[in-house]
């Protein structure tokens, strides 16, 4: 059946969805939710020039008339060579064999290597719908995955996209997240690179936090590059700090993550292959994994973190990566500044002047960097932390950061004071005196996002004092910045409703 493409000026969550008139759907003997193959009108064979569509049905000829295929605006952009076609050929499609393998996992059965390969290949080809992928993710969440399954999934995800090779000794650091203000990669990468190790850092944009490493780095320099440019950058200075989403690394994993987010599921069986597949794609051979532990993180207790670390190390070893894991404190923000521009400013300030602190950022950054220096043979075991501090104090890390900023197209001489913050700001002052007994990361994240983070680079919070600090009545607790007066007002309202993220109390916990 030949149909004319009609663009629908809406974006859709499921970019496989297309709309048929009910008469055309009847001719194809297809119901809503079923599949059709969409091909270039000039192609008679089912080759790479095809698209799998999940059918929605219109009973109104005014919306989609007979002979038309409704394609949503964002979907049309992803249809590759089909985007320029005014007319396409469609035919019925049946569920792929991989759907049967998904059903096996839902029932709690273990999957073979070839079955996992089929699921990954079909997810990239668009043969599996989001509902079917949701079933797979739910099955993994309920029943877990064996080590053998996770190894197969890691390698299948790696094979789904591009791979780079920077030699036999390539290092990286990754965090499982959960702590606001965690800009440590902006300190770790230049320290490790200044010591002579190769560290091509691919980072994420924020998903649940106010700023990801890529968001903060983008304040200082561009972060989106094709793989050829990444090779050139790393070839010259042994390092980079870029956004991994601009590269075609492990696209199967990106597809699964898009489905995981609205489900609020991130099972170990998918998280471990996700991390390792992308590191393998970047040629990483040695990694330190930062596991923040505590309330609001993926690992509420130390035991939870230890269990994950042991499994992670086992899978990493089997796929060719040497891994060390560090359980880190997550009870309050790292440093004092939350939000892309503020975090870039705080990191740059520390790189320029070790004495500027803050101590939490120094200690976490140099501890993790020290582990990598030990793994790379630059320091004996137990001495890496001191060497990392020495490199940071000497200014060598700052000089390396200037190289990274310059080669990525930023201004290497930018000063912290030149980083612009939101034009609308509000200081919040303490209504009483006391000691800060707790800092609520959840409320910090909520306020920061309301202010506009991470999409507004200039929005965020600047916290004056943290847990253990003494605050006087009328003293500044924190300052809020936003690009919008309305957002600032909403954030202040959240502060008033929640009582704020800074909890005050005396040094006596309870009197008995």
Distance CA(461)–CA(477), nearest Å, equals: 10
Query: Residues 266, 353, 413, 462: which is the catalytic one?
Result: 266
Answer for the pair 93, 37: CB distance below 8 angstroms, yes or no: yes
Opening angle at CA 413, ends 409 and 419, nearest 5 = 85
Distance CA(163)–CA(154), nearest Å, equals: 13
Enclosing H/E stretch for 255: helix 251-263
Answer for the pair 89, 39: CB distance below 8 angstroms, yes or no: yes
Q: Scanning the structure block, which residue is given the tokens 């968001």?
A: 215
Distance CA(210)–CA(399), nearest Å, equals: 28
Residue 93 burial (C-beta neighbours within 10 Å; 0-12, 13-18, 19+) = buried
Distance CA(24)–CA(29), nearest Å, equals: 9
Q: Whose CA is closest to 402, among 414, 390, 391?
A: 414
CB atoms near residue 499 (< 10 Å): 11
What string of H, E and C letters represents the secondary structure of 275-339? HHHHHHHCCCCEEEEEEEECCCCCECCHHHHHHHHHHHHHHHHHCCCEEEEEEEECCCCCCCEEC
- 424-429 and 460-463 strand pairing: unpaired
Residue 253 appears among annotated catalytic residues: no
CB atoms near residue 488 (< 10 Å): 22
Distance CA(450)–CA(454), nearest Å, equals: 10
Residue 25, C-beta contacts closer than 8 angstroms, at least 6 positions apart: 31, 32, 55, 57
Opening angle at CA 400, ends 398 and 401, nearest 5 = 60
Query: In this structure, what token pair is assigned to residue 386?
Result: 């001191």
Identify the three-state secondary structure at position 258: helix
Active site members: 266
């Amino acid at each position: 059946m030949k149909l004319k493409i009609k663009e629908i000026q809406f974006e859709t969550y499921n970019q496989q969805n297309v709309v048929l008139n009910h008469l055309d759907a009847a001719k194809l003997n297809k119901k809503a939710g079923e599949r059709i193959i969409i091909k270039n009108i000039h192609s008679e064979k089912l080759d790479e020039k095809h698209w799998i569509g999940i059918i929605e049905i219109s009973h109104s000829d005014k919306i989609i008339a007979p002979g038309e295929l409704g394609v949503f605006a964002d979907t049309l952009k992803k249809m590759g060579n089909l985007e320029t076609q005014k007319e396409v050929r469609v035919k019925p499609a049946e569920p792929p064999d991989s759907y049967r393998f998904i059903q096996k996992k839902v029932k709690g059965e273990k999957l073979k290597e070839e079955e996992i390969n089929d699921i990954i290949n079909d997810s990239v080809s668009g043969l599996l719908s989001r509902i079917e992928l949701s079933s797979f993710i739910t099955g993994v969440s309920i029943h877990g995955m064996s080590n053998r399954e996770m190894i197969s999934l890691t390698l299948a995800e790696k094979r789904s996209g591009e791979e780079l090779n920077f030699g036999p000794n390539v290092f990286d650091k990754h965090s499982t997240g959960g702590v606001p203000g965690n800009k440590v990669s902006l300190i770790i990468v230049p320290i490790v690179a200044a010591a002579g190790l190769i560290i091509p850092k691919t980072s994420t944009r924020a998903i649940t936090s106010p700023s990801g490493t890529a968001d903060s780095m983008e304040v200082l320099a561009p972060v989106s590059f094709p793989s050829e440019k990444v090779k050139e950058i790393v070839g010259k200075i042994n390092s980079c700090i870029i956004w991994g989403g601009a590269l075609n690394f492990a696209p199967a994993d990106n597809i699964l993550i898009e489905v995981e987010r609205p489900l609020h599921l991130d099972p170990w069986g998918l998280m471990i292959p996700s991390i390792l597949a992308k590191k393998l794609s970047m040629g990483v051979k040695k990694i330190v994994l930062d596991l923040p532990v505590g309330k609001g993180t993926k690992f509420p207790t130390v035991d939870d973190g230890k269990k994950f670390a042991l499994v992670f190390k086992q899978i990493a070893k089997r796929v060719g990566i040497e891994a060390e894991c560090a359980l880190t404190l997550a009870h309050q923000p790292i440093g004092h500044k939350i939000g892309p521009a503020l975090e870039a400013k705080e990191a740059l300030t520390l790189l320029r002047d070790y004495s500027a602190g803050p101590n939490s950022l120094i200690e976490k950054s140099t501890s993790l960097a020290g582990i990598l220096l030990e793994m790379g043979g630059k320091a004996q075991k137990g001495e890496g932390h001191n060497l990392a501090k020495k490199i940071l104090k000497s200014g060598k890390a700052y000089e390396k950061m200037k190289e990274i900023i310059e080669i990525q197209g930023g201004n290497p001489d930018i000063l912290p004071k030149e980083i612009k913050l939101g034009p609308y700001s509000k200081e919040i002052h303490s209504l009483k005196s006391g000691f800060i007994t707790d800092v609520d990361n959840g409320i910090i994240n909520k306020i920061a996002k309301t202010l506009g983070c991470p999409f507004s680079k200039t929005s965020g919070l600047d916290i004056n004092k943290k847990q253990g600090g003494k605050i006087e009545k009328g003293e500044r607790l924190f300052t809020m910045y936003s690009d919008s007066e309305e957002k600032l007002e909403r954030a202040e309202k959240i502060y008033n409703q929640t009582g704020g993220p800074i909890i005050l109390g005396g040094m006596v916990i309870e009197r008995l």
